[in-house]
Amino acid sequence: MDYATLLQILDSTLRLATPLLLACLAGLYSERAGVFDIGLEGKMLMAAMASGAVAFLTGSVWLGLLAGIGASLVLAAIHGLASITFRGNQLIAGVALNFLASGITVLIAQRLFGQGGRTPPLTGDGRFGPITLPFADALKDVPIFGPLYHEVISGHSFLVYLAIALVPFTWWVLYRTRFGLRLRAVGENPAAVDTAGVSVVGLRFAAVGITGILCGLAGAYMATALQAGFGREMTAGRGYIALAALIFAKWRPVAALWACLLFGFFQALALRPDVVEAVVQVKIPVPFLDALPYILTVVVLAGFIGKAIPPRAGGEPYVKER
Amino acid sequence: MTFMKSLYGATAALALTAGVAAAEPAIIFDLGGKFDKSFNEAAFNGATKWATETGGTFKELEMQSEAQREQALRRLAESGANPVVMTGFAFGDVLNTVAPDFPDTKFAIIDMVVDQPNVKSVVFNEHEGSYLVGMMAGLASKTGTVGFIGGMDIPLIRKFGCGYAQGVVAANPAAKVILNMTGTTPAAWNDPVKGAELATAQQSQGADVIYAAAGGTGIGVLQTAADLGILSIGVDSNQNYMHPGKVLTSMLKRVDNAVYEAFKEGVDLKPGINVMGLANDGVGYAMDENNASLVTPEMQAKVDEAAAKIKSGELVVHDYMSDNTCPAATF
């Protein structure tokens, strides 16, 4: 494998890891606050449809992005209402949202455009274009680092850089702010937070809201940056892989970045079976490469690599004692 | 009581006569959906063509999940629809069990052979059409490397890829063909993001023409090829218009003709196997104003020459599904 091929795979890794990373961080906020969210997939799908549709209708990708975030927030609000306010089962609410999103996205897109649940192709300002970072062209000829900077690091859309910037930001929010402390506390011991006079319901809604915003970014990235429009079921299970990455990262933001990059790397490798074969000298079936993220997650859950301990109050609606 | 009885009787009689009088044809679309811009949409166009020509109406049903297959089929057959046409190989097993239960109803299945006395099986020689677009890819490629992106890894899609590879090699014996499949589950038909990444990966390996036989995933392939400034080849329906000047051609599979014929034959549908190939215009390649600038007269002449040879039987394109091997490519 030559350097150019490696760079191409890393470039692909970054693109494929971005929706995972955004969804993974989304899940992190929610689950750290004690609300399990299996509905990441549905929120991403909803955001992808809304951003694709609005970006096409207005011709502005920024309005599309806002619409995507808005649509995702609506689903997040339903999730919050069902599992926080009415203390329903969080997993069932999430699954229900996935079904809802799967059907309603196609329904709305079909009603608006009549193209079989697809939004029309976006052009020009309707899409996020690649951003060339400063000096990318000047440094192109510098050995080793130049091509790396030019091919892999530069030339992605705005949302890729935003997603990566969100990792240190999330770390700072969770571990260095009062809000973050309370957020983590409400996922571990909501009764203590309540005793301290802080609203458990309010904190959990805030967390679910942040989840909605991040899923909105993930969906909009897929429909307006990676692709030029929404297609039915286009998220293709990435919400679930993000959940696996979250467990793999043991609910920590920086680890989430590495987990998503690793999973993205596996997905990029699965696109190049010829390279894999050249490196390991054995023909590895592509489905095996596709399954690797799940296999690794099971390994982690089984306790072979450290121990994955979910937030203690996760999955349980908070009921004040009377 | 007697009044009620006669009322029921009248309703039943009415329903019966309505059923006989209508005997509407029906069509079931597979999971890709009616407007997939490809396979199912071609079927829908055929049905619509029949409806506008004859002024008749037809019943239609879009599958939403794998579990609905048998139920959907039975319901349409029970409703008196005749013939019932279904698109897609996945109906094969179900039709095999349902067809004997409705001996008076005629069924037509596309892309699969079902051996029942009341079933017409329409299969296409996709390898022949793919051979022609493969030749065109081989002639159009400047790098000598071309790509193929299939949807779900099933023998039918390998048949596309195998015919394509043979065509490429026929046009340019030194050419390299990169073959990729999107996945092994039905989700592989609807993953444009992965299709886009596969196209990027193939481009980085030097491919400058990519043939997508992948349903909704192909939309992503065509989009990315257009973004990267390389050529793509559409499938099933004419997809040249999706990116004018950037789609080299489309492999046409005249599912519309198959559905149209089946509807036209109506209750007199002739059971048996119907092979639609180049010779009877079942497959072909698309030329229109969107790709006129991409295809030179010499290219077209060479491809048409090969088409004539295939029609006359002088040239035989190997069918992957006949023995699960391919002389021009390994999967």
Instruction: Per-residue pLDDT tens, chain B, 331 aa: give them.
Output: 455 555 555 555 444 444 444 578 999 988 777 777 778 888 999 999 999 999 989 999 888 777 888 998 999 899 888 899 998 888 989 999 999 999 999 999 998 899 999 999 999 999 999 999 999 999 999 999 999 999 999 999 999 999 999 999 999 999 999 999 998 888 888 889 999 999 999 999 999 999 999 988 999 999 999 999 999 999 988 899 999 999 999 999 999 999 998 999 888 888 999 999 998 888 999 999 999 999 999 999 999 999 999 999 999 999 998 899 998 888 7
Q: Chain B neighbours among A 7-26 (CB < 8 Å)?
A: 8, 12, 15-16, 19
Could you list the residue range(s) of the whole structural domain that residue A95 is in?
A: 3-236
Nearest-neighbour CA in chain A from B17: distance (Å): 35
Indicate whether B56 and B147 sit together in one domain.
no
Residue A284 placed within a domain: no
Under 8 Å between Cβ of B33 and A116: yes
Query: What is the Cα–Cα distance from A206 to A145, expressed in whole angstroms?
Result: 41
DSSP B244-303: TTTEEEEEEE-HHHHHHHHHHHGGGPPPEEEEE-TTTTSEEE---TTTTTTS-HHHHHHH
Residue of A nearest to B178 (CA): A274
Does B268 lie in the same domain as B246? no
CA nearest neighbour of B136 among B284, B14, B318: B284
Residue A319 resides in a domain: no
The percent of residues above 90 in pLDDT, for chain A, comes to 61
- For residue A291, being part of any structural domain is answered with no
Q: Is B180 on the interface with A (CB under 8 A)?
A: yes
The answer to whether residues B168 and B267 belong to one domain is no
Our count of domains for chain B comes to 2
Q: Is B145 on the interface with A (CB under 8 A)?
A: no
Q: Which residues of A touch B216 (CB under 8 A)?
A: 118, 231-232, 234
A160 inside domain:
yes
> Does residue B237 share a domain with residue B154?
yes
Classify residue B4: in a domain, yes or no: no
CATH of the domain at B119: 3.40.50.2300
Over the stretch A66-96, which tens digit does the pLDDT of each residue have?
A: 999 999 999 999 999 999 999 999 999 999 9
A positions 234-293 inside 8 Å of B (CB): 234, 236-237, 267-268, 271-274, 286-287, 290
- Whether B185 and B317 share a structural domain: yes
Identify whether residues B312 and B200 lie together within a single domain: yes
Write out chain A residues lying below 8 Å of B181, CB-based: 286
Does one domain contain both B234 and B318?
yes
In the block, which residue shows the tokens 């990441």? A40
Tell me: do B63 and B113 sit in the same domain.
Answer: yes
Tokens of B109: 């299945």
Is A7 contained in some domain? yes
Q: Which of residues 53-72 of A touch B (CB under 8 A)?
A: none
Q: What residues make up the domain containing B182?
A: 138-252+296-323
Is B174 in the same domain as B308? yes
C-alpha dihedral over B61, B65, B67, B69, to 10 degrees?
30
In the block, tokens 């091509």 appear at: A147
Beta strands B247-253 and B283-285, pairing class: antiparallel
For residue A169, the one-letter residue type is F
Question: B211 and B232, same structural domain?
Answer: yes
> Which CA distances in Å does A26 have to A262, B81, B243?
18, 49, 35
Does residue A251 register a pLDDT over 80?
A: yes
Query: Considering the domain boundaries, does residue A321 fall inside one?
Result: no
Pairing outcome for strands B107-110 and B84-87: parallel
Residues of B in contact with A231 (CB under 8 A): 190, 192, 216, 219-220
**In chain A, residues 95-134 whose CB comes closer than 8 Å to chain B:** 106, 110, 114-118, 121
Q: What pLDDT was estimated at residue B20? A: 45
Residue A212 scores a pLDDT above 50? yes
Q: What pLDDT, on a 0 to 100 scale, did the predictor assign at position A31?
A: 95
- Residue A32, domain member (yes or no): yes
Residue pair A239/A42 in contact (Cβ under 8 Å)? The answer is: yes
CB contact under 8 A, B33 and A233: no
Residues of B in contact with A116 (CB under 8 A): 33-37, 41
Beta-carbon contacts below 8 Å between A and B: 81
Question: How many domains is chain A partitioned into structurally?
Answer: 1
Q: Are residues B261 and B221 in the same domain?
A: no
Name the percent of chain A lying above pLDDT 70.
99
For chain B, the maximum distance between any two Cα atoms, rounded to a whole number of angstroms, is 84
For residue A121, give the nearest of B181, B197, B223 by CB distance. Answer: B223
Most distant CA pair in chain A: distance in Å? 70
Q: Provide the pLDDT confidence category of residue A30 given band limits of 50, 70 and 90.
A: very high
pLDDT per position as a tens digit, A84-127:
999 999 999 999 999 999 999 989 998 898 777 888 888 888 89
Mean pLDDT of the region A207-212: 97
pLDDT for residue B62: 85
Residue B110 lies in a domain: yes
Does A50 reside within a domain? yes
Does residue B118 sit in the same domain as residue B169?
Answer: no
Q: Check residue B22 and give its pLDDT.
A: 52
pTM above 0.90, yes or no: no
Is B267 inside a domain boundary? Answer: yes
Tokens 């690091």 correspond to A153
Q: Give the pairing of strands B145-152 and B209-213.
A: parallel
